[in-house]
Amino acid sequence: MIDSARQIENLMYTYAERIDAGNLEGVADLFADGRIRAAPDTPFEQTVVGRDAVLVMYQNSTRIYPCGTPRTKHVTTNAIIETDDDAGAGSARSYYTVFQQLDDFPLQPIITGRYHDTFHRIDGEWCFDTRIMLVDQMGDLSRHLLFELDQ
């Protein structure tokens, strides 16, 4: 049996895997009982709650190419995970770096930041409760997002 911290870590990596595959429905499924809060204390702050709202957020913000993907790699590192198995609660802090490459856009990091996540266990399965996305550095996001993200 995989311990709780490893299950949470796998959940964090599943998010990256699904978004890079262009599987926005799958990303939204991860937040069926959760929420995403993007960039607190900035002009582009927003909170979306539940699967349907998360799906709409990603559909309205993520550029998907003819190959069916955003042509990105979300790399999650430096994960610090804490769990309270008795309470069925957990938290994690991690870094993210998003790389992108297109035929006319050389491979490069386009954004870096931190995730502050909380988790809860439902019917024995760990789920996202809240993902807070903090932006630390931005590069050229014009090929990734469907809107402009001001610094």
Torsion of CA 100, 132, 80, 136, to 10 degrees: 50
68 domain-assigned: yes
Give the domain range for residue 68.
4-138
Quick one: tokens of 132?
Answer: 């807070």
Whether 143 is in a domain gets the answer no
Please write the tens of the pLDDT for every residue from 38-83.
876 665 678 999 999 999 999 999 999 999 999 999 999 999 999 9
Per-residue confidence (pLDDT) for residue 17, from 0 to 100? 98
CATH code for position 117: 3.10.450.50
What lies within 8 Å, CB to CB, of 11 at 6+ separation is: 30, 119, 126, 127, 128
**In this structure, is residue 149 part of a structural domain?**
no
Whole-number pLDDT of residue 43: 56
Indicate whether 21 belongs to any domain. Answer: yes
Whole-structure pTM over 0.85, yes or no? yes
Q: What does pLDDT average to over the chain?
A: 94
Number of separate domains in the chain: 1
Task: Confirm whether 72 is domain-assigned.
Answer: yes
Say what the pLDDT of residue 38 is: 82
